[in-house]
Amino acid sequence: MNDRTPEHPADIVARLRATFRSGRTKPLAWRTTQLRRLRELLTTHGAELAEALHADLGKSSTEAFRTEIDFTVREIDHTLEHLDEWLRPESAPVPVHLGADASAWTRYDPLGVVLVIAPWNYPVQLLLTPMLGALAAGNAVVVKPSELAPATSAAVARLLPRYLDTDAVAVVEGAVPETTALLAERFDHIFYTGNGAVGRIVMRAAAEHLTPVALELGGKSPAFVDRDADLSVVADRLARGKFLNAGQTCVAPDYVLTDPETARALEPELVRAVEALFGAEPRQSGEYGRIVNERHFDRLSSLLDSGRTVIGGSGDRTAKYLAPTVLADVDPKAPVMQEEIFGPILPIVTVAGLDEAIDFINDHDKPLALYVFTESDTTRERIAEETSSGGLGLGLPLAHLTVSDLPFGGVGESGMGRYHGRYSIETFSHRKAVLEKPLG
Ligand code: NAD
């Protein structure tokens, strides 16, 4: 609220910790009530959130519901359906020297007060999905939306307190100073989604209090296209995955890796696929998003001459519009290959074949996602076996993150920790070992 002095981070954490210590967040009934209220918020105010997402990122309403609002509702439903079962204590066999009457098991203890720091690209989903996991695990939570999606941040800050237990859930809006002040406090877990540079700042701050962290980071996610693949299907799926949210998706295929002949054949297919999605003038399409701000627009524009333009290659800074772009003949040393693109530019890099593709992938940071388009079992198995990535998509980009029973997270430079479904419970709980030996 603008007419009130914002509560100091130390006071927020103390207030939430007192609630946690009172035991209020622990019963299953409290947890499921919070999840049901969050569901009600999303279904009642979906249109309002979609408008905010449109203001921040030019997201169409269809895309806003599919990738953010309904996505989160599905995660809530899945959690409500299984939470009881996920929280059940699990027994462990007891060694004979403890006697036949001894028993052992593990139980899930909530951690306490959790801090969730979210980025701007999916500002609803990436804030609320970790939050609901932390609540389902019985914690109190402070959420910090991204200042780069201001309309969504304001909407969330306005709506969450109307639906959730305000002594257990707090929203702190703001940028670097506010986040820095929050990070000085002692939390029991910090869940950060964003870039690796800030990931390091978060981890350093967490080390002061020995606070565990999950770092959901990004990086360049390659898409290997084998010469035996049906290029029409590949192009359709690549274009959908790449140009969703104008390429500002952490698991978007960052670049294509293929042999020169397949590259040539793929080019016209990608042109066709882009036009099928957004028409000949993507700028006129209500389904195509905008770049988040001028800084990112300028960064992306500077990458446009990294190769031969197959389609796109232009934009309008004032409108933050950058055409869906495919670049061919891209040198691995070109600027577009030096950093995560995080925008609507798809470079095609050529390699001699599978061996060289595997070497190329392993010569770079471990990606958040790796995509493979092939008809060959051997190729699929070799890539699965010989490379490391947060997730592996065989034939379809992005979709693995919609499977609530799969863990979502990175490895190496793409992050640490995982969440979604039962993996959120694992992340936001301590699995306590218990041994019992009757006294009698
Ligand atoms: P961002 O700029 O919104 O930053 C993320 C959060 O960090 C924000 O809440 C911001 O306020 C905070 N922050 C920024 N600077 C800070 C500082 N100096 N100290 C403390 N906090 C600070 O988002 P971004 O980092 O530009 O997001 C894009 C990156 O996130 C990409 O690399 C993308 O791949 C990655 N990403 C990963 C996932 C995932 O699930 N693994 C999802 C989305 C985005």
In a domain, 90, yes or no: yes
Number of domains in the chain: 2
User: Residue of the nearest CA to atom 40 in ligand 1?
Assistant: 216
In a domain, 360, yes or no: yes
Q: Which of 63, 68, 75, 250 is catalytic?
A: 250
Q: Could you tell me if 344 and 416 lie in one domain?
A: no
In a domain, 1, yes or no: no
Give the count of alpha carbons within 13 A of 233, CB side only. Answer: 12
Q: Could you tell me if 203 and 260 lie in one domain?
A: no
Q: Could you tell me if 397 and 420 lie in one domain?
A: no
Of 56, 121, 370, the one to substitute when testing ligand 1's pocket (max ligand atoms within 8 A of C-beta) is: 121
Query: Which of ligand 1's atoms lies nearest the C-alpha of 401?
Result: 40
Does the annotation count 375 as an active-site position? no
The verdict on the CB of residue 201 being under 6 Å from ligand 1 is yes
The verdict on the CB of residue 293 being under 6 Å from ligand 1 is no
Cα-only R_g, the chain: 23
**Ligand 1 centroid, distance to 182 Cα (angstroms):** 15
Q: Could you tell me if 231 and 175 lie in one domain?
A: no
In a domain, 2, yes or no: no
**What is residue 4's predicted lDDT score, i.e. its pLDDT?**
62
Tell me the pLDDT of the chain (440 aa) as tens digits: 445 678 899 999 999 999 999 999 999 999 999 999 999 999 999 999 999 999 999 999 999 999 999 999 999 999 999 999 999 999 999 999 999 999 999 999 999 999 999 999 999 999 999 999 999 999 999 999 999 999 999 999 999 999 999 999 999 999 999 999 999 999 999 999 999 999 999 999 999 999 999 999 999 999 999 999 999 999 999 999 999 999 999 999 999 999 999 999 999 999 999 999 999 999 999 999 999 999 999 999 999 999 999 999 999 999 999 999 999 999 999 999 999 999 999 999 999 999 999 999 999 999 999 999 999 999 999 999 999 999 999 999 999 999 999 999 999 999 999 999 999 999 999 999 999 999 98
How confident is the model over 40-57, as pLDDT tens digits? Answer: 999 999 999 999 999 999
In a domain, 4, yes or no: no
The verdict on the CB of residue 179 being under 6 Å from ligand 1 is yes
Of 72, 195, 338, 411, the one to substitute when testing ligand 1's pocket (max ligand atoms within 8 A of C-beta) is: 195
**Ligand 1 centroid, distance to 200 Cα (angstroms):** 11
| Contact criterion met (CB below 8 Å) for 257 and 223 | yes
**Ligand 1 centroid, distance to 369 Cα (angstroms):** 17
In a domain, 3, yes or no: no
Q: Could you tell me if 280 and 383 lie in one domain?
A: yes
Q: Could you tell me if 51 and 79 lie in one domain?
A: yes
Distance CA 38, CA 164 (A): 7
Distance CA 187, CA 233 (A): 47
CATH number of the domain bearing residue 40: 3.40.605.10
The verdict on the CB of residue 199 being under 6 Å from ligand 1 is no
- Straight-line distance from the first to the last Cα atom of the chain, in angstroms, rounded to the nearest whole number: 60
Q: Could you tell me if 90 and 238 lie in one domain?
A: no
The verdict on the CB of residue 171 being under 6 Å from ligand 1 is no
**What is residue 440's predicted lDDT score, i.e. its pLDDT?**
83
In a domain, 426, yes or no: yes
What residue numbers bound the domain in which 390 lies? 222-402
Q: Could you tell me if 292 and 360 lie in one domain?
A: yes
Q: Could you tell me if 66 and 199 lie in one domain?
A: yes
**Ligand 1 centroid, distance to 29 Cα (angstroms):** 33
Does the annotation count 250 as an active-site position? yes
**What is residue 1's predicted lDDT score, i.e. its pLDDT?**
42
Q: Could you tell me if 383 and 280 lie in one domain?
A: yes
The pTM assigned to this predicted structure is 0.97
CATH number of the domain bearing residue 371: 3.40.309.10
In a domain, 239, yes or no: yes
Q: Could you tell me if 39 and 175 lie in one domain?
A: yes
**CB burial of residue 221 (10 Å; 0-12, 13-18, 19+):** buried
Q: Could you tell me if 210 and 228 lie in one domain?
A: no
Give the list of residues 6+ apart from residue 195 with CB closer than 8 angstroms, or none. Answer: 119, 217, 218
